[in-house]
Structure 1
Amino acid sequence: MSVALFPDMIVNGITIPSAAIAAEAQNHHAPKGKPGLAWRMAARALTVRQLLLEEAQRRGVAAVPEEVGAGRSETEDEAQIRALLETAIDVSTPPEEAVRAEWVKAPDRYRAPPLWEVSHILCACDPGENEGAIGAKARADILADAAHKGLRRFADLAASDSDCGSKANGGALGQLGPGDTVPEFEAALRLLGEGEMTPAPVRTRFGWHVVRLDACAEGQVLPFDTVRPKLAEAMEKAAWTKAARSFVDGLISAAQISGPDIRTI
């Protein structure tokens, strides 16, 4: 008798069809060439959902769906699972001494955001225009080469060739912090030391940039009293996640389950 490669799950006598698992698998990412892992992750997710609903019904948990976003409310099942977890998992706020002990382990981790002084040369192009992007990249390569070789001053190149309004200031954008620029631009900045330029132009939705980090001020280490509220919240969330995982593992251990192995995920 042949065995299905991707079988149904049977959870306490309830069948979760392979088609439902296949649909759920699209929401789970696995390494290339390992589709079985995404399948098992999906099977676990649907199994856990079934077990949580069964446990909510066993305990007589009732819940009213809440709004979770603009124009979207929980389904009845989502509301029941939320109410169950609120009932079953009780995590207290960590005591002051525990929060302080966590901070003392590495206070250097908790800093104010850095400030960067940045200059750039922009060769603008429409993100959807392939031919224009190629031309902008070629122009950016020429400008980057001239800047790296010192053929002209960076500020002069920006003033004469940049497509950004900052050209009036020699390409200077002033002080920037995390989140002030698009992600690709910020990622390039974080790789630079003071006075360094990007080795090649950087592509963003605005075009191609030659970027120079003029100065960098590392954020100051934050005092414990400033860090404490967010650190305590993070510790409480971590404790809740651990408790929730333990609760779910207990439901899985007590259940009658046949199908893909979901216990090692």
Structure 2
Amino acid sequence: MIGIVKAQVQVNAPFSMLWERYLPLFLEQGLNPEIGLDASSLDCFSQRDFAKVADMFHKAGLSITLHAPFQDLVPGALDAKILAASRSRLQDAFDQLDIFQARSIVCHIGYESRHYQGLEDRWLDHSIGTWAPLADQAARQGTLLTLENVYETEPQLIKELLTRLRGVKVGFCLDVGHLQAFGGGDFQGWLETLGPLVGQLHLHDNHGVNDDHLALGAGIVPFPGILAYFTNARQRPIITLEPHHENSLQPSLTYLAAHWPW
């Protein structure tokens, strides 16, 4: 069963870590990568480097998803210069889509209520201006753009954003660890509001305080109920494991195999 699960999930790793250490492990173990294109990777590696790694995964018959840069970025910024810088850095990642031929590319939504209280409509307008052209670019490459929660504490504004983006191909990436640690852990409410829009799941565990990225089952995230929702809804989102420690991967695969809903 672990082999079946392994063939159907992605495993997150920054490009730099694949290049320097983990590429042989991924290829030997047949792990589908979610490759993090952070700012450092985009600045330090060439398109030839990206193409070399992508070609190795493609020849091994493995699927690729991507994670766009997110640190310091504000995709719905009200400051025009900050917004332009955020869009430029995201564009750096999207310009690699033709190389990686990724199933999806994940981006952080970047909304925090304490910064934008009373300014939600302006934030939405600027966010749509960021995501709509990127979603179109991704769709032309056969890649789904999914927008991920981090510090968002309620799902309604995310639903409004995705509703306004309905004319382009965009899904929601539900990061269950972020929802548990930062969003209050109301999985039932979030799934009732956003469940049909979920195109991807980021799975990792914590105890509801810090974003620990523990192995599945090592914290309090209610994975069986989350997976049961998608089984009952007959949805098959892309599933990504996000182990931040090498020894967290195997326990996560074992746990997921025991609860695999499909």
TM-score over 0.5 (shorter chain): no
What's the TM-score, normalizing by structure 1?
Answer: 0.18
What's the TM-score, normalizing by structure 2?
Answer: 0.18
The structure with higher relative contact order (CA 8 Å, sep 6+) is 1
